[in-house]
Structure 1
Amino acid sequence: MDSKTASLAEALATALPAGSITDAEVSLPAFHGKLRYLHTPPKPRDPLFSPPPGHEPEKTRLSSHFLTFSIDISDAVGGSLPVGSSLEVQEEGVLGIAIELLVYTTRYLTTLFVSKADTTGYIPNHPPSRTKAVCSASIKWLVEQEQQRHPHRKVVVSLFARAQSQYLFPGSAEHRNKHVLDDRQLIRWWARVLDPLLDIASDRDGTSEIDGYVTIPGYDNQELKSYLPRTKHSHGRQWKSGHPLAELAETRGVSAAAPPRSLLPRFPDDPKARFMQDLDDEVGLAGDAPVTVSPSKRKSGRWNNVGDLARFWEAMEFRQECSSGRVVGFLWIVVSPASDSKDGGQLTDSTKDDIPSLEQGSTRTLADAPDIMISAPASQLHHSLSDLRDTTPTPSQSVSASPTKKRKRKPLTGPIIPRQPRLKGGSSSLTATSTDLNGMLNSIRGDGLLITQEGYDRAMQTLLHLDFANLHIAARSTTKWVNEVASVCGLASDWGVTVVGRAMVASPESKASAASNGGSSGGAINDLGGMVRKKKRKGVDNMPAVNVLSARKKPKTVEA
């Protein structure tokens, strides 16, 4: 893997098409749009895995990542805006794709959970799929970022596929051009989205081991094969039916014979997490649950009637989310470094993940504003941290020598400057403040805004209260969301990054030519269907289509 990965905008540009040919053989220009990317710094949170009996919970940090992709109004499906629409609405375009990822970090394991993904239906549905390219490229880029930061740590991509008409764009289900997949189609689609991750380049120490897993409660291994992509990957990487939970437990230093609740992660809005909570309540393992069993059984950390992972997945089949004709698929991609050593000392220092190391780039973040982390030169940050260390009392210094007498405040003088009004439901300084914030969009992870968790939650809540039912309403909602995030971060202008596709797309003529020539010499399947000709029988063209009696042989007549 390269010492420095490309930015997110460059990764999307490489994945998106430079042009395409429609069914009417009309050449389309390169696909372009605007990327808007938000992410939060890692902060401590509750452990993703329940600790085994007698063990301490794993120290876990969580960072949230949310990216959207919008296109111009003129390129959107569904007509044009009414005459007289404001120029501002037209300039912001309309949101088309959004995806949210949650990154959980422990000492030995990094887990990327695909929380939500949704579309509005306003992006033209020309092959290749833009939605698939954006989702696949963004997940792959984030995995490579984590590999670069922690080359000896195992990285896991996890998601569950459950079909719904809308996740992130309210009202988008009313748009007739939005293509909503059913349960089975959605599982296959996500498998194709994650499939390129099996081709991630080797790391500096050798070839990474990468495997994909699919589990559907109620399906056996033979039935799961129809959901697995059949792409041939290098180094023997492939998809498997099942799950990697036992392997991940070994990476975490937990025995595979531990209680199942210690082997299963608890993601937000996760069907299996809700089932785990119900099982915890039955035996009184939940923190606020009444004691219904003996203390010794509670101490064992085991559920009733669910003693191992196999039994857990069997019981999941009868849950409401996985029964009554519904299908839920659980997918994993496990990226194991070649030197799979448990060198996870990155979390021994509590400030390591909050303040990234200075060797990772020329700019680093300072929490100067409440809802955006402003970039500062690394040298300035180094001096500021040194000053903080110098002012900290050492053990040899006497803390009691400091004066206990309160310092007398100086009387305030000068003009009285009124404060800005407080926004409902947010911090009093969300609309922020200093003119130094304008234009400072450099972030440690590329083209995004490093924002606090409060600002991130505010941006998500704003999006979930908008409407995307038709193009005019969706364009107004897009402008409102972009301006709201800019206001939260104290920015005066749009913070989107323009992305122009560069991936070459083969025309139908070239595909047909490649198929007729048997494809490339790299192992393409030879199609002999166009070379086989059937022999014609003599006189077939002159034979009537229907049997005629005159064509029969006349019987012989007998003379008297």
Structure 2
Amino acid sequence: MAEKLSLPSRLAAVLPLGLDLRAYHLSTPPTPAPALFAPLNGHDEEATLCESHFLVVSSPEHHGHEEVLVYAIEILIFTTRSLVTLFVSKADSSGFSLRLNQQKRSPSAVAAITSTFVEFLLEPRLASSRVVVSLFARSQNQYLFPGSSENAGKHILDDRQLIKWWCRVLDRVLRHPRHDSMATAHLLVPGCDKSETKAFFPPSSRADSSSDPKWVNSYPASLLVTDPSIPPRHVVPHLPDDPKARFLDDLNGDFVDEKGNWRSVKSLDQFWEMMSYRQECSAGRLVGFLWLVFSRGQTKHVALGELAQTVQIENLNKTPTQLSLITPANSQQQETGVTESDPLTATALEMIAEPSSPPSSSPVQPESGSNTLEQIQNANQGAPAPALAEKSMLSATEDTQGELVMNVHEYQALMDHLLQTDFAGESLAAKSTRSWIDKALELSQVASFGRPIHGRAARVLAQPPVPDIVSSAQVNMLTGIRKKRKADTMEKGTTTVESTLGASAATANTLLSSLVRKKPKS
């Protein structure tokens, strides 16, 4: 098995040599959260855990300049029995990327940081049968750094540029070498047809086979829910601060019959068609919805309903020893090293013990005594252990947790504090940076926060565009080549392509238009 690399090591490996940054990664433990998909009438919500990850990188203090936050990205991870969803919630730059002193035409450090962070969180979770990376690309002046839109150094992409940028960044994750996993990308841009949407695909998609494309213009409903034929309100996920989630709220507030159908929108295709008329998608800006779907042990994706049946059959064939639960009593013997007081184990056990209990936004604490354990064991006798209790889930959380692990209240307080700062200008940005770091130290009660990153990747500069004059010269060269007679070739020998093109170029440059005459017609 490949060695597990820490996030600072991964970032240093992809950032160019000589580039120095400081990375701040904080996270929350898995906490009960509302289900992403609305349950059918008469059914309980699907038990769901959510953990938040926030990464901020800064340009450290140097040459008399104070430290300033440069880029930040937030990813929420939702885990259920059948699906793991990594939702890219927010990403923003502060407008001080010029302080990174990158060479011209060098690869984007922000793009490298983004794809590396997504891959870091994704990789250990690919042990699950189905994993999806989801995001929506919507162009705005600022998301996380108030006042940053006033900075001249902030490069704000328009709607089309932003969708293309995210497709290129996530294409790196899609094509990252990995074994025993099938991966495809799905893009929808409401208001654009298939040919228009294809223009947003990354350049690498042109080399893919037409019979097995990596990029598809579709919503992968059958890969995300067990039964895509149910009413659309149960098939579209309700993600935080998401345009389609606001559309779901409006439709649910209007009318829903006993079968879960809306009055106005009857099908999934109609839902996405109506999305194009929403203000967020029709106010002169396009919004792109993107999904990367990963399936373990498959050469082609299997519908989630079929996959769930396969996993259930496999679990029924396992012995009771293989299905043993991770409990506080035996967790100390697990390789993950999770102890009885670990909040990850407590949360997972609570979710298993009461899978149909209403979700809460606060961390769940384990009950004292042995009654909880007895309830868990009695409830699971003769049944396969839920995916939430698998060691791989706990191990993935432990392997990817932040330098600071906060509860949801502390995490939200720190996020709110960032939104109250001001990054308009370097002086204000430096003060806001110091204020945010101090707030993190105050909430977490630790002495230090932040890891230095020293880039060590060899610099690879992009090839400069070929000037038009060179392009035209090459055309003249090729049209001016004449075939040599065999005798000339025998006497002078075979010449190189460069010398032949050079001689042709000279001929083409000295040939006057007045010397060219058309042969008269007989």
- TM-score normalized by the length of structure 2: 0.71
Q: Does the CA-based 8 Å contact 1:209-1:338 persist in structure 2? A: yes
What's the counterpart of residue 370 of structure 2? 392
**1:539: how far off?**
11
* Structure 2 letter corresponding to 1:97: Y
Identify which of 214, 220, 232 aligns with 2:187. Answer: 214
* Residue 478 (str. 1) matches residue 433 (str. 2): yes
SS in 2 for 1:10: helix
**1:230: how far off?**
2.5
Identify which of 22, 26, 31 aligns with 1:38. Answer: 26
Map 1:192-341 to 2 at 5 A. Answer: 192-203=168-179, 206=180, 208-231=181-204, 238-249=214-225, 253=226, 255-283=227-255, 285=256, 298-338=257-297, 341=307
Q: Does the CA-based 8 Å contact 2:27-2:402 persist in structure 1? A: no
* Structure 2 letter corresponding to 1:173: S
* Residue 139 (str. 1) matches residue 118 (str. 2): yes
Q: Does the CA-based 8 Å contact 1:8-1:446 persist in structure 2? A: no
Q: Distance in 2 between matches of 1:317 and 1:184?
A: 15
* Structure 2 letter corresponding to 1:49: F
Map 1:482-521 to 2 at 5 A. Answer: 482-493=437-448, 495-507=449-461
Please identify the structure whose Cα radius of gyration is greater. Answer: 1
Q: Does the CA-based 8 Å contact 1:40-1:63 persist in structure 2? A: yes
Does the C-alpha gap of structure 1 residues 300 and 538 become closer, same or farther in structure 2, counting only changes over 3 Å? closer
Identify which of 419, 433, 454 aligns with 1:464. Answer: 419
What's the counterpart of residue 110 of structure 1? 84
**1:447: how far off?**
5.3
**1:322: how far off?**
1.0
Does the C-alpha gap of structure 1 residues 39 and 351 become closer, same or farther in structure 2, counting only changes over 3 Å? farther
Q: Does the CA-based 8 Å contact 1:49-1:265 persist in structure 2? A: yes
What's the counterpart of residue 67 of structure 1? 55
Q: Does the CA-based 8 Å contact 2:97-2:153 persist in structure 1? A: no
* Structure 1 letter corresponding to 2:121: L
* Structure 2 letter corresponding to 1:131: V
- TM-score normalized by the length of structure 1: 0.67
Does the C-alpha gap of structure 1 residues 389 and 536 become closer, same or farther in structure 2, counting only changes over 3 Å? closer
Q: Does the CA-based 8 Å contact 1:7-1:447 persist in structure 2? A: no
Map 1:412-431 to 2 at 5 A. Answer: none
Q: Distance in 2 between matches of 1:114 and 1:31?
A: 26
* Structure 2 letter corresponding to 1:213: H
Q: Distance in 2 between matches of 1:61 and 1:349?
A: 21
Q: Which runs of 5+ in 1 are unaligned?
A: 19-29, 82-89, 286-297, 369-387, 397-441, 516-527, 547-560
Q: Distance in 1 between matches of 2:373 and 2:461?
A: 72
* Structure 1 letter corresponding to 2:451: V
* Residue 176 (str. 1) matches residue 122 (str. 2): no
Q: Distance in 2 between matches of 1:467 and 1:173?
A: 11
Q: Distance in 2 between matches of 1:481 and 1:539?
A: 65
**1:533: how far off?**
5.9
SS in 2 for 1:156: strand
RMSD of the TM alignment (CA)? Answer: 3.6
Q: Distance in 2 between matches of 1:265 and 1:104?
A: 11
Bigger fraction of residues in helix: 2
SS in 2 for 1:478: helix
Does the C-alpha gap of structure 1 residues 156 and 543 become closer, same or farther in structure 2, counting only changes over 3 Å? closer
**1:324: how far off?**
3.0
**1:276: how far off?**
1.1
* Residue 121 (str. 1) matches residue 95 (str. 2): yes
Map 1:339-418 to 2 at 5 A. Answer: 341-342=307-308, 343=311, 359=334, 361-362=336-337, 366=341, 392=370
* Residue 152 (str. 1) matches residue 128 (str. 2): yes
Q: Which runs of 5+ in 2 are unaligned?
A: 316-322, 344-365, 375-396, 467-473, 481-503, 516-522
Q: Does the CA-based 8 Å contact 1:209-1:237 persist in structure 2? A: no
Q: Distance in 1 between matches of 2:326 and 2:146?
A: 38
Q: Distance in 1 between matches of 2:34 and 2:418?
A: 26
Q: Distance in 1 between matches of 2:506 and 2:77?
A: 69
* Residue 532 (str. 1) matches residue 478 (str. 2): yes
SS in 2 for 1:486: helix
Q: Distance in 2 between matches of 1:68 and 1:320?
A: 31
Q: Does the CA-based 8 Å contact 1:365-1:443 persist in structure 2? A: no
Q: Distance in 1 between matches of 2:54 and 2:509?
A: 67
Does the C-alpha gap of structure 1 residues 532 and 34 become closer, same or farther in structure 2, counting only changes over 3 Å? same
Does the C-alpha gap of structure 1 residues 68 and 351 become closer, same or farther in structure 2, counting only changes over 3 Å? farther
SS in 1 for 2:203: coil
